[in-house]
Amino acid sequence: MNEFGEVSIDAPLLDTREEGVELHDVHGGLLAYGGEGDAFTATLRALRGRRHAFDHVLIETSGLAVPTAVMVTLQTPEFADAFLLDATLVVVDTPLLLEGAFSTGGDAAQASAASVFDAQLEYADVAVLNKIDGLDDAALLQAEADVRYRAPRVRFLELAYGARLDTQLTLGLNLHGTRRAVTHAAPVSGTPSDLAAPLHDHTTLDGHSHGDLDAHVHSLSTHQHFHEHDPGWQSFRLTSPEPQDLPALLKTVQNVARVFPVLRVKGFVGDAQGERHAVQAVRSRIEALPAPARADAPNELIFIGYHVSRKKVIEALQKALPQVWS
């Protein structure tokens, strides 16, 4: 799992240590774009040495990354014999898509985000519509139409209710190899012989939409975005030693995201009652959920934005809050 920020915020939330699952955390940069790329390849080498001990490797890149950098790494002579590129997935923030946040007609930050999003879709085999639980059928159809318009070569469009997907819709698809996998759910109507047919012959499937294209084949020459991460995207960490007024903090962070080109804010904060909360914000949409208590844990927030000024964000926090953030 990869985070763009200098410290890991998501890893503690995902670190459930389920039986048979390992979590490897790489933060402080983008996988395979240099810097932390060495940590990524070191992790791959370690996994390669234990190839017999696992079935799948899921590589979750930062939302600011284009998958081509990782795809190129997997296809180098060092790793091509040990790892088979199965499929690439892009997880879509569906409400943001419907709000037009990925349109190219906005400011520089929006234009850059739109460029990254389009590049992610361009190289995706599967697009997952996430954060959809409150959306009606008309909104879902509009989101699907938007994705299909922007990326007609996306093979599958899946719906993630409750931010969950069946692993059969994400693992073992073999969309970059010579074999054709049929591990998806069975058609609503069909006979067992239908399941042996090529995947593109399945026109009616339960719960997800499929295109009629052949499998993606990406060669090294197609990865034009390799090492082309926009340096305008920046992140910084702010901390505070004092208990927080959670409602006031959330409102302030929300206002900061409206005023400054901030895309993401995430972190952990403790309140005066001793409760610890995980804060997650995408633009001005923000929430705080209970998090495991840690007496020694600081209040910390990671801000990710486009040419965003750390100094100005601190000034905005200090103007609105009595607690010191630095």
pLDDT (tens digit, 9 = 90+) per residue, 20-65? Answer: 788 888 776 677 665 544 788 888 999 999 988 888 998 888 778 7
pLDDT tens for each residue of 272-310: 898 999 999 988 899 999 987 776 778 999 998 899 999
**CA–CA dist 221, 122 (Å, integer):** 15
Residues 6+ apart with CB under 8 A from 256: 262, 265, 303, 313, 316, 317
Q: Output phi, psi for 48, to 5 deg.
A: -60, -35
Element (H, E) at 65: none
User: What pLDDT is recorded for position 11?
Assistant: 64
Q: For the chain, give every residue range classified as CATH 3.40.50.
A: 2-222
Where do the CATH 3.30.1220.10 domains begin and end in the chain? 233-320
DSSP string over 12-48: HHH----TT-----EESS-TTSSSTHHHHHHHHHHHH
Report the greatest alpha carbon distance in the chain. Answer: 68
Q: How many residues does the chain have?
A: 326
pLDDT at 180 over 50: no
Q: How far apart are CA 190 and CA 199, in angstroms?
A: 13
- Across the beta sheet with 233-240, what order do the strands follow? 233-240, 299-306, 262-270, 276-282, 285-290
Measured distance CA(124)–CA(134) in Å, rounded:
25
Query: What's 213's DSSP letter?
Result: P
> Hey, is 63 helix, strand or coil?
coil
* Per-residue tokens: 8: 């890991």
Map tokens 């920020």 to a residue: 5
Q: Which residue carries 């361009």 as its tokens?
A: 122
Q: What pLDDT band is residue 195 in, cutting at 50, 70 and 90? A: very low
- Assess contact for 282 and 263: CB atoms under 8 A: yes
Structure confidence by residue, pLDDT tens digits, 60-94: 887 787 888 888 888 889 998 899 888 999 999 99
* CATH 1.10.287 corresponds to the domain 2-222: no
What is the separation of C-alpha 81 from the centre of its chain, rounded to a whole number of angstroms? 27
For residue 123, the one-letter residue type is: Y
Name the CATH superfamily for 233-320. Answer: CobW-like, C-terminal domain (3.30.1220.10)
Strands 26-27 and 299-306: unpaired
Confidence label for 214 from pLDDT (cuts 50, 70 and 90): low
Task: Give bridge partners of residue 235 from the DSSP assignment.
Answer: 304
Locate 16 and state its tokens.
Answer: 């459930």
Cα separations in angstroms, 70 against 32, 35, 231, 306: 6, 14, 18, 23
